[in-house]
Structure 1
């Protein structure tokens, strides 16, 4: 009988992905590795660190949406092309997990904006999470 492994016993990092809403048609396992409907590359869903330096009066190069009211977190909603944020690898659909060691997973939108605007050096932990980003867009107006 299979036993569930406690969350704390998993080797890090742990990535929980949503189940398929429309799974691809069944293909024999030996043929899946090269099939376009079966992408086994999950590293772009792993948390990553982005460092940005912001001179006084400069723009961040990205917008955020969401917050505590949406119950889904803060997400990058726009990245200005050719900005420092774009060059650092930020993309629409990234969930902001923390900024300068402040947890962004349950923060008010206005507080998140204040932290991002006042910081001169920004150390962000983000993860690409398009599923929750889409759900978050449907719930909020930010």
Structure 2
């Protein structure tokens, strides 16, 4: 006959620390949660459709006759550490017709990198150029952060 094994002894229960010993953490309130969208509607809903092509970099080409305005304003620069952004596009301008929009980050102008450039240098390049080839990408999140950080 085989020897019987004794059942394992129950593990000693470690005393648990009372709740009073844990730090209390207060989380900020979630101020404006997005509206709930039923799952069957999400495939057509803009917040759920995963259509990311509008965020891809694109090229904008503009001609600027002497004395003409560009048709858009920029803000930001090296001081904000977020880049140069389009802050205003004049309706029916060449820039508007070319597809430039508020919230676009300017990545480069005529092959000059605009991602870490001083605001004044960016303005100078844009004002003096007759032909402008811009690489931009729509980046509304960083544009909002940039607006909060800088005054121009």
Whether TM-score is above 0.5 comes out as yes
Runs of 4+ in 1 over 6 A off after TM superposition: none
1:87-102 aligned within 5 A: 87-102=97-112
Unaligned 5+ runs, structure 2: 1-31
Q: What is the alpha-carbon distance in structure 1 between the residues aligned to residue 45 and residue 71 of structure 2?
A: 36
Q: What is the alpha-carbon distance in structure 1 between the residues aligned to residue 46 and residue 89 of structure 2?
A: 28
**Paired position in structure 1 for 2:43:** 33
- TM-score (norm: length of structure 1): 0.79
Tell me whether 1:50 sits opposite 2:60 in the alignment. yes
1:80-91 aligned within 5 A: 80-91=90-101
Bigger radius of gyration: 2
Number of aligned positions between the proteins = 121
Q: What is the alpha-carbon distance in structure 2 between the residues aligned to residue 136 and residue 123 of structure 1?
A: 23
- TM-score (norm: length of structure 2): 0.74
1:116-131 aligned within 5 A: 116-131=126-141
Describe the SS at the equivalent of 1:105.
coil
Q: From the superposition, tell whether residues 94 and 37 of structure 1 become closer, same or farther in structure 2 (CA, over 3 Å).
A: closer
Q: What is the alpha-carbon distance in structure 1 between the residues aligned to residue 46 and residue 96 of structure 2?
A: 27
